[in-house]
Amino acid sequence: MGRLPMSDVMFNVINRFPSIAGEAITALRQVPFEVSDAKITAERLPAHEALALYTPQLQELNKRALVSNLVQGAAILGPALKLLNEKTQSPDVILAWQHLREAEDTNQKNRRLVGWLVVHRVLALPAIGPAYLTVWHHLQSYMGHPIVDRDNSDNALSVLFDNALTQAGASGCLMMSKVPGSGPMYDAMVRVINDNDLLIDEIGRYQRAAMICKFDGDSYLDSAVRGKKRKEYRRLKNRLSERGKLRFEAFHKEDDISSWIDDFLQLEGAGWKGRNQTAFNNRQDWATFLKISTTRLAENNQCKFWRLRLNDKTIAITFAHHAGHRAWLNKITYDENYARFSPGVLLMLEVTKALGNDPVITEIDSLATADHPMINRLWHQKLSTTDIIISSNSTPEKTWFAITCGLIKIRRKTRAKAKSLYHQYLKGAKK
């Protein structure tokens, strides 16, 4: 009999510690979490199966969520599972169900979806382990918190976390990255972690530009952009207008969304991202994902597009996802032939005005890097995101928790160093 691979050895150690872990975990999953007027239980399904069965319930949950998560919603998750999922990943969904004493709707079968979390199992070190559970992310995801009912947030989070941390084959750890670093979701997670005496380690925290609307669009720009800079932007706009008819356009629900998506894909593909093979059009699955997910979001009135056009030709375009009073600015691209006129900046000035005048949206996340040179000049507020690992507080889990956190931190530092060296090499090669 040959030797087992190290990963199999790790899995066996984890699965057999204690020796009856499988039976105990199965029993734990069947125990309902009691609340004052109902009980909440967890169900785990393959992600594609959960979507096929419960998309209407998921859509309703996102509408009454403590903080919406469009990335784990049906419009984005469905095409992402089909087009962006690596073959080695088999994401599951943990669902938290509130069992109602009296059915409000016979179609709900006496239960309401109050929690949703997409997870998959990974190894802290490739081929070695230990295994842990993490929120599933793909190349186009930008948030990773659970979706929970605002009226049952703490109870739903408790059930989701309990199910995740007792997942057979995992080391008792759950990592959640790209979760809000403040606000109602962060506060609820901290409460539940403390109330359940869970271990927690924050392994990353990041800040980026945001727009918090307290004024109308013009007033916001007046307060955010210095007079000298505003004068420069007006000069650039006037010079660009000399070349033809310049106009700003916003997408409306009755518009054909496909023409806006095509505009974006063509413009991005013609620029530096296309040359670097990182544009959506460089890969068919990426482009198809953008078309499907954006179309579905637009149908749900959860997507906004804006563009700057010169003589009926798009020279800059961007889009945002939105739910409730929050929005997330996605990609922006522009025609490099007009780079000296800063069309991207001119577009964002108009976008800022439009968002500032929106009657519903009050908080916009730029989703930009912390040191983004353009958006930081326009939006001065900050939003933070964090990456955390949690585990139960029993003796064996403490050991695995320390090992897993340490290995993940080492892996991140190694990747960051490798990335830095790679970019240094590219700069040297260009010289």
Is there a domain that residue 203 lies in?
A: no
Is there a domain that residue 205 lies in?
A: no
Give the residue numbers spanning the domain of 367.
210-384
DSSP 8-state code for residue 149? B
* 379 and 238 within one domain: yes
Considering the entire predicted model, what is its pTM? 0.84
DSSP 8-state code for residue 105? S
Summarised one tens digit per residue, pLDDT across range 170-218 is 678 999 999 999 999 999 999 999 999 999 999 999 999 999 988 888 9
Name the β-bridge partners of 247.
309
Model pLDDT, residue 426? 62
Summarised one tens digit per residue, pLDDT across range 220-246 is 999 999 989 999 999 999 999 999 999
Is there a domain that residue 204 lies in?
A: no
Model pLDDT, residue 13? 36
* 420 and 331 within one domain: no
Whether 24 shows a pLDDT value over 90: the answer reads: no
The number of distinct structural domains making up the chain is 2
Q: Are strands 147-148 and 111-123 parallel, antiparallel or unpaired?
A: antiparallel
- Cα gap 351→329, rounded to integer Å: 10
Is there a domain that residue 276 lies in?
A: yes
Is there a domain that residue 89 lies in?
A: yes
Whether 5 shows a pLDDT value over 50: the answer reads: no
Distance of CA 260 to the CA centre of its chain: 23
* 335 and 294 within one domain: yes
DSSP characters over 240-289: HHTTS-EEEEE--TTS-HHHHHHHHHHHHHTSHHHHTT-SGGGSHHHHHH
Find out whether 132 and 173 touch, Cβ atoms under 8 Å.
Answer: yes
Instruction: List the CATH number of the domain containing 275.
Output: 3.40.630.30
